[in-house]
């Protein structure tokens, strides 16, 4: 994994983050993510994929030396959003498939699921992001919480290729990430202990069948399953064995203990 020598004064930045009223562990995870993304070099491949990266990174590093925590947070979110990519380069065929399956475009799930996932991802965990975009969410979870494998399922081939290159820049070993260019409506579901998703499809028509199949597959998992769901629509599909332990209007989390 990437060496996390931070490109800013750690005590000063920790002091600024301390005013944001995050729980201590999440504040430290945010500090680590800032170090990871702020510490990325201007590799030509990275700049080709993310042309505004050098500027946004430098502006962020400047904010790290300033005295305004909100400016620091805003500059960092701009950097994160650029690397996440709002404008996904879909082919015409992929666009047709996303439209046909009632899919959602590449909106960012944000930092909060990444900051909160640490208690639920263990070294042996197989995690998945269903509708991963370029996989930034899962890649950052691999950086913060190294685990057996992160499966990234995404309909866009170009986004997946960009994600593979990002994985190289983040120095995440190849065997830690499985890239699957596939439709969530068709891909085999199951085998995961940590599931992250941001509504890849709408819960109607074929999308409804996806949430039914996913819920059935996860309820049969022998071990513990934790689901982090953004803009959640799973609650109508999950059986009673799943307990909702967090919801804040953006992120909803469920847990099923190991089956008896
Ligand atoms: C709202 S974005 C979420 C991106 C990322 N998981 C996150 O939380 O930041 C939804 C993603 O699902 C992908 N998607 C849409 N329909 C899909 C489908 N049928 N199969 C696989 N991926 C799909 C989109 O291309 C997009 O990258």
Domains of the chain with bracketed CATH:
10-84 (no CATH), 92-256 (3.40.50.150)
Determine whether the shortest distance from the Cβ of 183 to ligand 1 is under 6 A.
yes
Give 242's DSSP letter.
S
pLDDT of residue 241: 96
Distance CA 4, CA 19 (A): 23
pLDDT of residue 257: 97
Determine whether the shortest distance from the Cβ of 103 to ligand 1 is under 6 A.
yes
Phi and psi at residue 167, to the nearest 5°: -55, -40
Distance CA 215, CA 189 (A): 9
Phi and psi at residue 166, to the nearest 5°: -65, -40
Determine whether the shortest distance from the Cβ of 185 to ligand 1 is under 6 A.
yes
pLDDT of residue 87: 62
Stretches in the chain below the pLDDT threshold 50: none
pLDDT of residue 97: 78
Determine whether the shortest distance from the Cβ of 129 to ligand 1 is under 6 A.
yes
| Protein residue with its CA nearest to atom 12 in ligand 1 | 131
CA of 197 relative to ligand 1 center, distance in Å? 8
Distance CA 63, CA 44 (A): 24
| Protein residue with its CA nearest to atom 19 in ligand 1 | 183
pLDDT of residue 91: 80
Retrieve residue 128's tokens: 């998945």
What distance, in Å, lies between the first and last C-alpha atoms of the chain? 36
pLDDT of residue 76: 96
pLDDT of residue 131: 96
Instruction: Looking at the CA of residue 133, tell me the nearest atom of ligand 1.
Output: 27
pLDDT of residue 4: 59
pLDDT of residue 141: 98
Determine whether the shortest distance from the Cβ of 200 to ligand 1 is under 6 A.
yes
CA of 131 relative to ligand 1 center, distance in Å? 3
Distance CA 71, CA 13 (A): 12
Phi and psi at residue 247, to the nearest 5°: -155, 135
């Amino acid at each position: 994994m990437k060496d996390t020598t931070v490109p800013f004064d750690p005590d000063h930045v920790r002091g600024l983050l301390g005013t944001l009223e995050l729980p201590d562990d999440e504040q430290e995870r945010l500090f680590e993510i800032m170090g990871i993304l702020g510490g990325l070099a201007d590799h030509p491949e990275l700049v080709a994929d993310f042309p505004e990266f050098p500027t946004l990174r430098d502006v962020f590093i400047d904010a790290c030396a300033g005295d305004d925590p909100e400016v620091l947070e805003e500059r960092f979110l701009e950097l994160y959003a650029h690397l996440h990519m709002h404008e996904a380069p879909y082919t015409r065929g992929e666009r047709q498939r996303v439209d046909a399956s009632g899919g959602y475009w590449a909106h960012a799930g944000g930092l909060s699921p990444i900051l909160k996932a640490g208690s639920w991802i263990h070294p042996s965990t197989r995690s998945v992001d269903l509708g991963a975009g370029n996989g930034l969410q899962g890649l950052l979870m691999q950086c913060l919480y190294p685990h057996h494998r992160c499966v990234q399922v995404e309909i866009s081939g170009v986004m997946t290729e960009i994600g593979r290159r990002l994985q190289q820049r983040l120095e995440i070993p190849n065997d830690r990430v499985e890239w699957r260019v596939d439709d969530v409506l068709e891909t085999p579901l199951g085998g995961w202990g940590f599931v992250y998703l941001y509504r890849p499809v709408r819960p109607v028509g074929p999308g409804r069948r996806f949430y039914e199949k996913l819920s059935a597959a996860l309820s049969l998992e022998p071990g513990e399953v934790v689901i982090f769901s953004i803009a959640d629509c799973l609650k109508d599909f999950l059986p009673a064995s799943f307990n909702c332990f967090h919801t804040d209007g953006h992120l909803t989390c469920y847990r099923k203990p190991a089956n008896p």
